[in-house]
Amino acid sequence: MCDIFLTIKIIQNLFFELKGSCFYFLLLSIIMESYHINNIGRILIDESQLDSNYGSLGQFLTRITELFIRNASRYITEMEENPLFDGERVISSFWIPAFHQESLFLQEYQVNRDGTAGHIDVWCYRRPLNCLFEFKSANYQMEAFNQRHEIAQTKWNNAITQLNMIPNDYARKISVDAEDSRYYKIAFITIPFQSSRNIQEDEPCSQLLQTGMNVLTPTPSWGLLWKFENIPQLRGPMEILDVQDKYCPAVLFLAHITEIG
């Protein structure tokens, strides 16, 4: 097991050393899972920071996010508008069917936050996983994300803080207590990117996933990038936040996972 972790650490260090070089994207393609969904785009997944003890949790996150993507792409294609920039309350419309298909869940579930009443965005159970989710979203100009990520960082911090305010013993109390149960708090942020130009090159989009994994603190445990590639009905141009002729080249999903002992 130590040898596996050492190998992962060596690959991560090599990745950072090569960043910006001609070998960057070659290594990126090796350490990240990538697959294509017809008429939806390409999916890139980074589980390099995911604890090996989390079992099927990474697969669950990938599955519900892929269902979110399918729900959102259908809406964008048929309505010819992109609501992903309208905040977490609006885009929860695409999350809820995903949770309904893959788990037992409750939305806006009442919880105890340090002795006061509050709500969690989603409580869900998919054996053996018990998960408390707090969702956030932040919109970005694609070209500015690497230099200016304060909004995403603030929302990231808020989601983690809200989850930390729920006592662990209480979180376990409201979960399904089966013999194989595992318990997690998951801060999840969705970051849709907009651009004033139709970015055709692959590299700027691919960099977004690793940038997201690097710039947020604490480091995300899991990340997924949805690239629209050359699908005009998803990329645009279209109206985004009341501005005409904008493009949406990609959407980034990041999760911070804390296991409840």
Task: Locate all alpha helices (DSSP H) within 165-259, ordered by sequence.
Answer: 168-173, 202-215, 232-235
Residue 121 domain-assigned (yes or no)? yes
Share in percent of the chain as helix, strand, coil (round to 5):
45, 30, 25
Model pTM score: 0.83
Query: Does the residue 21 lie in any domain?
Result: no
Residue 10 placed within a domain? no
22 in a domain, yes or no? no
Cα dist from 39 to 36, 73, 140, 228, 231, whole Å: 9, 9, 24, 9, 7
Q: Contact, 188 vs 221, CB < 8 A?
A: no
209 vs 200: CA distance, rounded Å:
17
Residue 117: inside a domain: yes
Task: Print pLDDT tens along the chain (261 aa).
Answer: 434 434 444 444 544 454 444 444 444 444 557 777 877 788 999 998 888 877 799 999 999 999 999 999 999 888 888 888 888 999 999 999 999 999 999 999 888 887 788 899 999 999 999 999 999 999 887 777 666 778 889 999 999 999 999 988 888 888 888 888 899 999 999 998 877 776 655 556 668 888 888 889 999 999 999 988 766 666 666 666 666 667 778 899 999 999 987
Is residue 246 included in any domain, yes or no?
Answer: yes
Torsion of CA 249, 213, 158, 147, to 10 degrees: -70
The string of DSSP letters for 11-80 reads: HHHHHHHHTTSTTHHHHHHHHSEEEEETTTEEEEEE-TTS-GGGTTHHHHHHHHHHHHHHHHHHHHHHHS
Q: Is residue 25 part of a domain?
A: no
What is the number of domains present in the chain?
1
pLDDT for residue 20 = 45
The reply to whether 1 falls in a domain is no
- Report whether 171 contacts 185 (CB < 8 A): yes
Q: Which residues pair with 255 in a beta bridge?
A: 188, 222
Query: Between the CA of residue 209 and those of 45, 55, 107, what are the distances in Å?
Result: 8, 22, 28
49, amino acid identity: Q
In angstroms, rounded to a whole number, what is the distance separating the alpha carbons of residues 46 and 207? 12
Domain residues for 85? 32-259
